[in-house]
Structures are given as structure tokens and as C-alpha cells.
Amino acid sequence: MIITDNFAQLDKVLTADICLIGSGPAAISLALSLNNTGLRVLMLTGGGWTESVASQDLYRGSAWPAGSHEPLEENRRRQFGGTSAAWGGRCIPFEPLDFKRRDWVPNSGWPFTYDELLPYYQHAAELCQIGDFEFDARRAFAGNPTEIVAGLDSAELVSYPLERWSPPVHFGKEYRATLEASPNIQVLFDAHAIALHTTPGADEVSQVDVDVRGFRLQVRAGRFVLATGGIENARLLLASTSERFPTGLGNQHDNVGRYYMVHLSGTYTDVKLHDKSQLWGGFERDANGVYCRRRWWFSEPAQAAHKLFNTIFFLYHANTDNGHRDVLFSTRFVAKAVLSIVGQRSISQMIRQAKQVLPDAREHFLNILKNGLLEIPDLVRLGFQRAAKRRLPFLLPSRRNAYWGLYFQAEQAPNRESRVGLSPTEKDAFGMPRAEVRLAFIEADVDSVVEAHRLFVAQFRANNLGEITYDEAELRRYLGRRVAAYNSTAHHIGTTRMATDPRVGVVDADAKVHGVSNLYVAGSSIFPTGGHANPTLTIVAHALRLAEHLKQA
């Protein structure tokens, strides 16, 4: 059942066997797995059907130093369905390697193996609607070429790993009917958790304070699951202080909020193939119509030999800093420039914005006029594909382009000094301290990306496949600019990390908070390492694993 109004008729104290705090992919996956059980489940959404200005404002925070991280409200959605409301749909499982302790990756190692998560990955693929759990192009597309660029693969660098794309699924919309019809699940809209309280003299959570459109109530439950995202999970734990937990729940060893990780990503290197007929870099569709795409990945022995953090490459739009303009990129640039002008609130603001964006837009517009006529059929076709229910994930450069960019996405090492904390001065509308992010990279994060590029470039040049732009000093300067003003793209990882030892983690192998008997955490905040993969598929898989534990406990 879903409750969206008549809050005044609710009791001031609600009870449940399990209280789920959050309503994104993790919380909804948990709820779906707990549906039609004997457990009474109450979900607190923290928002309504869509995001509101007031709800989104609760996500505002700060970064230190200023400008080092995107605004904290930018990539998150406080609504039913959570950030899946703005999800691109990219699904990749973690590698078996990610779960292992790696000597060259500090603080690495999960308390369980890839094989233990595999059955839940397969169910997660169903919920994310990505077809079969098959991420090897040699099996999924046996009749197609086996390499992105013929002749480039080796024992160290391979291009058969796939990514699969969800339609994308908005978890709130897609599973609304199931939750509305559930006999044992109650979903309470616009219910904002403010603080968790523990039973005096005991290591258990007794209740959570909730604000529902100005109406205050308490939720008491046998067990609580915190599933509000990588930043908010840490924020709520830190804000829930008591005499027994003076620095926050689970923070006995000052680990809550620490080890904050993102993915280091970008496009520096451009490639120009001698023979573009040897390129197989676009999207492929399986028998179910699911869009898939290949990527380059360094094998486990290669990562160990070269001390690489887990890193992938794929072909994307060229690095425009190098002057390589493709028509699709230019079309998108001009469209955004025009929208930024007409979206201003006054004529004077429109004129000021036009002066800022039109000089750059002019070059792109001339590129469209010069090279765009041949692209019109492709643009029309791609437009229809982007509008379909299972949409084309994004627009790739035209095959007519001379240059393609080499996009990278790399693992960031778990770093205790990279953290999410509480602002000492700023509070939200409910009086909760706002989040403060101090994202910190270590030298090895940059060194690993540089080494990955060096290996790729050497392999490309050794096979005489074309031109490739690369200068290590320039790449390091590029990475320096990236890390100085980083955008996480909503990959918020590690702030309540799993560990068997409470001295180095916040939750145990079952995702239960160390030192608290009935509080669990779901989402990417519990990941000890971030791998190269976008986190959503693993978030869903782990939530399903946690649900099985809750049903059996």
C-alpha cells in the first residue's frame, strides 16, 4: 500500500518488523524481495512522485575546498524511485578481481566473494531489465567480430567485456503497482528520516524520527535498513548521536563517511584509424532488444603485473580541446547553447548568456553547415532511437569522423582522508547538519590512469593501427584539472564500507552496522572498493542478498 496524503490520520507512532529508509533502487529491490512474506515492512520515501524544490534543497551541502566537487544536490533525486529517476541505465557487474585483496590497491578486499553475489546479480539483471546476465561478447554475439578494433587485443588488453543498458528503469514507476498491491508493505510518501535513536543502555535502534509534510511521527521497528545513498547514509548515521554513540551510529572508530570514492573518468586521448572498416565500436542489440556495448579491459594478470587499479576504455566523442569536432557533438553543443539562452528570465540575462556561449557555438554551427548534410539521415534515425521506450543510450560519433575519443573510467583507491562529514554551521529545514564533502585522491590514482593509457597507446602503436594523440605530461595536467574540480556523476561509494574488523569498516559482511544489533545499510556506500563499474547493478544485487538475510534472520 502507498500512502501519499491524509497524514494527519496517521498515528504518531508507527510500527513495523522492518523499516526501510529510502526509496531508490536499493530500497525498492529490498521491498520487492520482502513482498508477500510474513514481515510487516514500512518504507520511508523522503519525497513524492517527483522531486520538489523543498525536497531537493535537503540535499544541498558543501565541498572543501570550494569547487572541488559538484553541488551535492546536482546528481541526486529525493523522490520515489530515487536517483533512478535520472539514471542513464548503464549496467556492469563488478569483476571477481574486485572482491579480492590486491596488494597494490590499499584497503582492498571484500568480506565475501563474487560467486556469493552471482545468484543475486542474475536476479538484479531481471529487475534492471537488461536481458540475460551475459557480459562476454564472444558468447552474447558469437557471430559478430570479436574485437572493437581488429588486431588490437592481446593477452593483457581485451575488448570482449560488455556493458548492458537498462531502458532505463525508473524503479518508482516500474514497480509502483507491485508495491501498491502488496499485502505487507506500506510506503509512506514525503517521509523524511531525521534521526535514529537507540534504546538506552542497549546497542539497538529503537525508533526513527520522521517528518511528513510538517507532521512529526516516530517509527519503531525490529530492524532498520538505511538505503538513502552514499552521501545521505553517512550523513544520517553521523547526525544520529546519543550518549552511547556520541560521534554517530557505527562511528566508534571514526569510519563513517570515510573512504569516499568516485570513478576517475574523462577523455584525453584521441585515435584515428588507418582503416575504419576494422572498427566495431557501436551498440549491438541482443535477441531481447537490449543495447550492449564492448569496452577494453585489462586482464587480472595484467592489472597485477602493472599495478593497475581496475580501468576500462571505450570509444566516445573526441577530446574537443584537441580541436577534433564531430557533427553530433556540435549539434548537441549548439542545442544546449540555444536552450541556455532562451531559458534565462530576462532580456538582459539572455543577452549576457548569449555573449558567453555564442562565440564557441559559432564554431560548432559552422562545423554543422560544413559537414552536417551527410549526417542528416543518421541524425533522424538516432532521434527515433533516442525516443523509443528502450532508448539508444547515447549518441556516438559518426563513422565518418576522422577522430574518436578514448574515454576512460577508473577505480579510485579507498582513501581514509576522502570523506563525507557534517557541516559545523549549515543545517537543513529540519535542523539536520548539511553534508560536507572532502574528496581526496592519492598519487597512485593518477599514476594508474597514466599507466593504463601508456599500455593502450603502446599496444595501438605496435600494431600500426593509426594515429593516437598522447603526451604523458599533458595527460597528467589534464588529470590534475579533473581532480581539482570533480563531478562524481552520482557514483558515491564507500562511506559505510564493509569489513569484518570494526576498526576499518562500518558494516559487517551481512551489511549490519558494527556495534548495533538491528541496523543495516544498503547501497554503494557499503562497497569496500569501487572497481570500474557503474554501481547500480551491484547495488540491486547486494540489496537482494541483504533481503535474503533479513528473511532468514
pLDDT tens digit sequence for 497-530:
999 999 999 999 999 999 999 999 999 999 999 9
| CB contact at 8 A, 194 and 430 | yes
d(CA 543, CA 549): 10
User: Which stretches of the chain score pLDDT less than 50?
Assistant: 323-324, 373-376, 379-382, 384-387
- Per-residue model confidence (pLDDT) at position 379: 47
Determine the straight-line distance between the first and last CA of the chain, rounded to whole angstroms: 25
Predicted structure pTM score: 0.89
- Per-residue model confidence (pLDDT) at position 382: 44
Domain boundaries defined on the chain: 2-95+169-258+417-434+493-552, 327-392
pLDDT tens digit sequence for 233-290:
999 999 999 989 999 999 999 999 999 999 999 999 999 999 998 899 899 999 999 9
d(CA 452, CA 136): 21
**Which among 503, 510, 491 has a CA at the least distance from the CA of 550?**
510
Residues with Cβ within 8 Å of residue 170, at least 6 apart in sequence: 81, 84, 85, 87
**CATH number of the domain at 2-95+169-258+417-434+493-552, out of 3.50.50.60, 3.20.20.70, 2.60.40.10, 3.20.20.140?**
3.50.50.60
- Per-residue model confidence (pLDDT) at position 446: 98
| CB contact at 8 A, 333 and 362 | no
- Per-residue model confidence (pLDDT) at position 325: 53
> Where are the alpha helices (H) located in 248-324, listed in sequence order?
300-306
pLDDT tens digit sequence for 159-188:
999 999 999 999 999 999 999 999 999 999
**Which among 165, 183, 94 has a CA at the least distance from the CA of 532?**
94
- Per-residue model confidence (pLDDT) at position 11: 72
The dihedral region occupied by 201, where left means phi > 0, alpha psi between -120 and 50, and beta the remainder, is left
